[in-house]
Each structure stands twice: as C-alpha cells, then as structure tokens.
Amino acid sequence: MPTHPPVKTAILSFAHLHADSYAHALATHPGTTLAGIADHDAERARRKAAQFGTTAYESYEALLASRDIDAVVVCSENMRHPQLVKMAAAAGKHVLCEKPLAASVQHGQEMIDACSKAGVLLMTAFPCRYSPVMQRMKAVLESGKAGKILALRGTNRGANPGGWFCNPAESGGGAVIDHTVHVTDLMRWILKSEVQEVYAEISNGIQHANFDDAAFLSLTFDNGVFATLDASWSRPKSFPTWGDVTLEAVTELGTVSMDMFSQNLTLYSDKTGRVSWHNWGGSMDYGLIGAFAGAVAKNEPAPVSGEDGLRAAEVALAAYRSAEQTAPVHLPL
C-alpha cells in the first residue's frame, strides 16, 4: 500500500488505445485518483468522464489551470505530445507521456527541457517494464546465472490499430514508430547500453497503403551486443489476439526467453464467430501508474525518464532513415 496521499491525476486526450487502461488504473490504484479528463474531441471527453465517474473539462487549458490536479497522463495522437507536454509543464503539472515520446529528436528534447525548466517530472509510458515476467527475466540476467549476454531477439508484432495510427501526419509514421520503442526500451534497460547502429528493412507490403506496416531492425549496442527486432503490424484480423511482445537473450550458457502475454485464456465465442485470447496475468499498466504516482509523491526521479523515451524513439527514427538510405545509420542522430 502507498504511504502517500493519492496523486490527483488527469488524462489529456483519449485518442490513444491505452488511455482506457490507464484511466482504469488511475481510478482503482490506492496511490492515485482520476481527477479529470480533457480532450480536443469534446464529446469523447464527456463520454469518457461519464464512463469513469470523473470531471470533463471544456479544454486542456481549463484542466491545467485547476489546482485540484497534480499530474497528467498524455494519451493524444503522437504529433500532439510536444504541445501538451509543454502546456502541462508550464502549468506545473507532472507528466506521464504515452510512447513514442515524440516523432522527432528535436521535439523530444524540447519536451525534456521544458519539464526540467519547470521542475516537473517527465516519465515515458513504457508499461512493459512493469510486466512481472519481464522483471523476472531481468532479474535472472542480472544475477549472472545465465552468463554474459551475447545477442538479443525481440518481437512486437501486432494488428493494425487503424485510425490516426495510419496517418503519418498525426502519428509520425506507421508500425515502426509505434512498435519499435517498447522492445528497444527493454533491450536498453537490460543491457544498460545505448544503440550505436541501426539497419532496417521497412515496407508497406501487408496492406500496401501509404504507411509502413512491416519492419525488421538490426541493432548494435555500445557494449557489442547484437540484436534483432520484428516491429510490425503483421497480425491478420483472424488472429486470436492483437499482437505480442517477446524477448530472447542468447548468453554464454544458453538462452533466456520471455513471452509477455502468454498467460491467457482461449475463448471460442459464438457471438463473435471467432477464437480469441484473453490475458489473465498481472496488469503492467497498473504497475506503471503506481510507479509514476510514487515518484511524484516522493519527489523522486522518474523511473522511466523522458530521456529513456527519446533514446527509444531515436532508434525508430534511425530505422526510417536506414531504410530510406539502404544503409546502416549511426546514433546519435
């Protein structure tokens, strides 16, 4: 149980698919209260406020002016992140920002600088760090029992989320900007090393639209570890679940593997006419919200910083450049 009063936290926009899960966590975690919602879609704000039993503010400005709010979670379209984070920082609100942090290195750095100048916390929403199986994998690797890590292989293969995710003007890209960052962050977290070089092959070969939906990245880290990552929207509509997050470490003594969403029930539904998988494991979003609230309440650094978010986003941006140039790209950009 938390030893601090609940952190009064609001949500800025429900555009992102993760917003509902974060709202549920904010409403149920003993360390937080869901103190309000604002959205550039006013009807969506009213609908979600009614759903979660909180206040719908008429504008972002009105919400940020409230003294009854300590912190915000930014769940807008990717290209709105810089504006909303800067607004929140200027209002003195701590910020948890949905990934990717930004669609350019410049905007990401501006967000970090704005929060630093205002003296507020900026945390990147990487809930995969709070997956129990991921934390167990990290503990095993850090114990030394598996020996030195030689290589990593990761996947984040999902279904196309549709909507603004497929509009580069709002998202900053397609599958690569959406699905590279989670597993890249996990790799950085395990290795305590930065990506030095990125080589990527990217296509729109699944839906043949004006956005990328398939990608394979090869990464080299500063410490010499080599990694690969499948970051795609490659799940068909008939697949039992939206996607996956897996990670395998090849070590001196063998392999250590993690499948984040393998704890599931298989449902055969006559109502939908399909088979689906329903996760029953621990809620990593609940863990993320609790960690954010704890850092705010105790005035501690963000456990997943804005810098973490920027470094992961930079790998996705380097992947786009690599695919365009058909050559490896060295970091930093």
- Tens-of-pLDDT digits for all 333 residues of the chain? 677 899 999 999 999 999 999 999 999 999 999 999 999 999 999 999 999 999 999 999 999 999 999 999 999 999 999 999 999 999 999 999 999 999 999 999 999 999 999 999 999 999 999 999 999 999 999 999 999 999 999 999 999 999 999 999 999 999 999 999 999 999 999 999 999 999 999 999 999 999 999 999 999 999 999 999 999 999 998 899 989 999 999 999 999 999 999 988 999 999 989 899 988 878 999 999 999 999 999 999 999 999 999 999 999 999 999 999 999 999 999
Predicted pLDDT of residue 108: 98
Query: Under a CB-based contact definition with an 8 Å cutoff, are residues 102 and 296 in contact?
Result: no
Query: Under a CB-based contact definition with an 8 Å cutoff, are residues 183 and 156 in contact?
Result: yes
Query: Under a CB-based contact definition with an 8 Å cutoff, are residues 81 and 60 in contact?
Result: no
CATH 3.30.360.10 in the chain is located at 129-282+314-330
Predicted pLDDT of residue 237: 85
Backbone angles phi, psi at 141, to 5 degrees: -65, -40
Predicted pLDDT of residue 281: 79
Residue 99 CA to residue 179 CA, distance in Å, equals 10
Three-class HEC string of 220-256: EECCCCEEEEEEECCCCCCCCCCECCEEEEEECCEEE
Residue 215 CA to residue 314 CA, distance in Å, equals 16
Predicted pLDDT of residue 4: 84
Q: Which two tokens stand for residue 319?
A: 């992947």
Nearest alpha-carbon partner for 333 in 105, 103, 178? 105
Residue 24 CA to residue 70 CA, distance in Å, equals 18
Asked if CATH classification 3.40.50.720 holds for the domain at 7-128+284-304, the reply, yes or no, is: yes
Domain 129-282+314-330, CATH number (from 3.30.360.10, 3.40.1080.10, 1.10.10.970, 2.160.10.10):
3.30.360.10
Label residue 181 exposed, middle or buried (CB < 10 Å: 0-12, 13-18, 19+). Answer: buried
Q: Which two tokens stand for residue 124?
A: 């990147």
What are the C-alpha distances in Å from 189 to residues 74, 132, 235?
Answer: 23, 15, 27
Predicted pLDDT of residue 1: 66
Q: What is the pTM of this model?
A: 0.96
Helix (H) / strand (E) element for 137: namely helix 132-143
Q: Which two tokens stand for residue 96?
A: 């948890």
Helix (H) / strand (E) element for 216: namely strand 214-221
Residue 180 CA to residue 143 CA, distance in Å, equals 27
Local structure of residue 14 (DSSP, 8 states): -
CATH 3.40.50.720 in the chain is located at 7-128+284-304
Residue 23 CA to residue 75 CA, distance in Å, equals 10
The answer for residues whose C-beta is within 8 angstroms of residue 262's C-beta and 6 or more apart is: none
